[in-house]
Amino acid sequence: MARRTTDPGGRVEKAVSWTIKNLDGVVATGAALIIGLLDIFDQNVDDNVTSGATLLVLAALVFGTLTERRRRIADIREATTGTRHALEDLTMVRSLSGAELERALEQARQNTDHWIFKGGTGTYLRAVTLPVCVREAQRQRRSLAMKIDIVNPADDQACAAYARFRQTFAHRLDVVPPDAWSADRTRKESFATVLAACWYRQRLDTLEIGVHLSSVVPTLRFDLSASCLIITQDDPRRVNLLVERNRPLYDYYVTELHQSREQAVTLDLIRTEPLGEEPTVDEVYRLFDGLGLPLPAAFTDRDVSDIIDKALHPENPYRR
């Protein structure tokens, strides 16, 4: 049978530590015990000594009370701080609706040096975010980094799935969109976003832009700037979410969006076909061939012209 080992040194350290922490009580108890024993054994104790000892005991008790009060105040402060942090974590997401969304996006575009987008085909990105961010970068003479993650127009299944998703919830809108979503429209919208990215890149040397094509259909849109993350849906009337920077959820989504891009097809935009102010159909064909993303053989010149118009002259889909 194994014999239990003892640790005298550890017990001594614990005893000393306990004595220091409770020094007030030890002093009061010791003084009271000494006076009590002297009184029990009928020792002649001067009244001044007794009074002094009594005062010492009372002082020790008062000291102990004040010490305990300080400890409780410190505990309350610690608990309050923890509660405050917990409440901050709970409120790190703010809801946006109606005009609040547009104001939040406008503020996010101001003075940002980078923008990350993940969504379906980037319709609003082409119409507002991309041209405004580029214009601000030109005005302030600074660099701009953008990363765009959209549905792969070469993936027929992904385009069809995204179109079905948009059609499923289209009936909930009061106004039926004039151009109903289809796989063909999805392809054109995605091609238009790629074209817009290349066109703007050729006009701003300080623009670093990357396009990533995903086969996973998103149900939400993510716009991440230097100041916040905004999560939206295809219906602008629904509640949207805003997460300020320096919140844990903001950092979580930075990683999440990075991982999403890592699993997508990345286009090489370094050497692309030069595009005029108003690109021609032939220029666009050569551009996509050079990107390794050829336009479908079924596309006519009219289809390509439609892509050019969507890329460079888009309408804000949420303008009322």
Distance CA 222, CA 172 (A): 22
In a domain? residue 180:
yes
55 and 79 together in one domain:
yes
**Residue 62 predicted with pLDDT over 80:** no
Least confident piece of the model among 5-9, 69-73, 186-190, 311-315: 5-9
Average pLDDT over residues 105-110: 93
The pLDDT tens digits of the residues spanning 166-200 come to 988 765 554 445 568 999 999 999 999 999 999 99
In a domain? residue 45:
yes
**Residue 85 predicted with pLDDT over 70:** no
The whole-number pLDDT of residue 254 equals 96
In a domain? residue 3:
no
- Within the chain, what is the greatest distance between any pair of CA atoms? 120
Domain boundary among 50, 70, 90: 90
23 and 131 together in one domain:
no
DSSP letter for each residue of 211-235: EEEESSPPSSEEEE-SSEEEEE-SS
What Cα–Cα distance (Å) separates residue 195 from each residue in 27, 89, 319?
83, 40, 23
In a domain? residue 320:
no
Q: What 3-state class would DSSP assign to 310?
A: helix
74 and 218 together in one domain:
no
Least confident piece of the model among 4-8, 278-282, 313-317: 4-8
190 and 228 together in one domain:
yes
Distance CA 178, CA 92 (A): 38
**Residue 118 predicted with pLDDT over 70:** yes
65 and 113 together in one domain:
no
More confident residue, 59 or 298: 298
In a domain? residue 1:
no
140 and 49 together in one domain:
no
67 and 206 together in one domain:
no
Core vs surface per residue 179-217: b (16+ CB within 10 A) or e: eebebebbbbbbbbbbbbbbbbbeebeebebbbbbbeeb
In a domain? residue 193:
yes
Tally the domains of the chain: 2
In a domain? residue 5:
no
Average pLDDT over residues 220-236: 91
In a domain? residue 2:
no
More confident residue, 77 or 135: 135
297 and 237 together in one domain:
yes
Half-sphere exposure (CA, 13 Å, Cβ side) for 62? Answer: 6
Domain boundary among 90, 117, 138: 90
110 and 237 together in one domain:
yes
Domain boundary among 43, 61, 90: 90
147 and 237 together in one domain:
yes
Residue ranges making up the domain that contains 204: 96-312
128 and 257 together in one domain:
yes
71 and 177 together in one domain:
no
CATH of the domain at 262: 3.30.870.10
